[in-house]
Amino acid sequence: MQARFKAGIRRMIPWALPVLLLVLWQLFSWNGVISDRILPAPSDVFTAAIELTSTGELTDHISISLGRATLGFLIGGLLGFFLGIMNGIFRFSDLLLDTSIQMLRNIPHLALIPLVILWFGIDETSKIFLVALGVLFPVYINTYHGIKNVEGDLIEMGKAYGLRGSKLFFSVIFPGALSSILVGIRFSLGVMWLTLIVAETISAHSGIGYMAMNAREFMQMDVIVLSILIYALFGKFSDMVAKYMEEKWLKWKT
């Protein structure tokens, strides 16, 4: 009983600070310490959220942003994953591709925005392309290094015990690289949101970033803050997903 109570407390502690901040913010807004021209009260943001939800606008924007993020992440992530695995395992493709990938990696992908707009216009393709590009490199690098750093001794053991080809890969190489791959995924989830925010803010007709930019034109401070909060929640959510994957697949480490 007491143990469960303690566990409950422990789960609540991380949220104490955000909640406290929210309460203080609300209080200061009420008594005018924070002017609503600088920062709207949480209650105003909440009302804005309710309003936008009732018109269906908010859910539309959110689902569009989520869709872009997911699609871009999947394309870039899978590409980076397969390239990392190929180059990690096969010497020829490593020789052929790694140098080029490393060169591309050093270009900040956001610097490509003007070019990407010229190529694809400001429709879906440009955003998905940018997200995929941003996600590709962290996944690639970490997969590549993960595979390269699998202990040679364990691979040798696997071979000595009759493992070959896909069996060797799935029993030894991939699990050995997995923790590094997950680090890459976690990092790239951050890149994913960052890229999407920037891309949507600069050029879009929809999505959370567009909602914020549009609100700026009408001085709707509450909507701007709302979109920032949504990004924060999304960021937290994807981090939780990454953590969940680590806990599920790296159980042997604990």
Partner 1 sequence: MKKDARVPHIHLNQLKKSFDHTVVLDGINLKVNQGEFIAIVGKSGCGKSTLLRLIAGLEHYNEGSISIKDKELAGLNTQARIMFQDGRLLPWKRVLENVGLGLKGDWRQTAIAALRDVGLEGRMHDWPSKLSGGQKQRVALARALVHKPEILLLDEPLGALDALTRLEMQELIECIWEKEKITTILVTHDVEEAVALADRVILIEDGKIVLSKNINLSRPRQKTQQVFVNISEEILSRIVDPNEQNLRLIIK
* Residue nearer to partner 1 on the CB measure, 15 or 252: 252
**Contact between 160 and 142 (Cβ < 8 Å):** no
Rounded-to-integer distance, Cα 131 and Cα 199, Å: 9
User: Residues near 250 by Cβ (< 8 Å), separated by ≥ 6?
Assistant: 178, 179, 182
Taking CA atoms, 129 is separated from 90, 122, 181, 254, in Å, by 27, 11, 22, 38
**Is 82 one of the binding residues for partner 1 (CB under 8 A)?**
no
Spell out, one character per residue from 163 to 182, where the chain touches partner 1: x when CB under 8 A holds, - when not.
Answer: x---x---xx--xx-x----
> Which span sits near partner 1 by CB under 8 A: 19-27, 85-93, 161-169, 217-225?
161-169
Residue in 153, 217, 219, 248 binding partner 1, rule: CB under 8 A: 153
**Is 32 one of the binding residues for partner 1 (CB under 8 A)?**
no
Q: Which of residues 224-253 bind partner 1 (CB under 8 A)?
A: 251-253
> Which span sits near partner 1 by CB under 8 A: 15-23, 128-136, 154-162, 192-200?
154-162
Minimum distance of partner 1 from residue 178's CB (angstroms): 8
Q: Number of residues interacting with partner 1: please give it, by CB under 8 A.
A: 19
User: Residues near 186 by Cβ (< 8 Å), separated by ≥ 6?
Assistant: 239, 242, 243, 246
Rounded-to-integer distance, Cα 230 and Cα 53, Å: 13
Q: Which residues make up the interface to partner 1 (CB under 8 A)?
A: 153-154, 156-163, 167, 171-172, 175-176, 178, 251-253
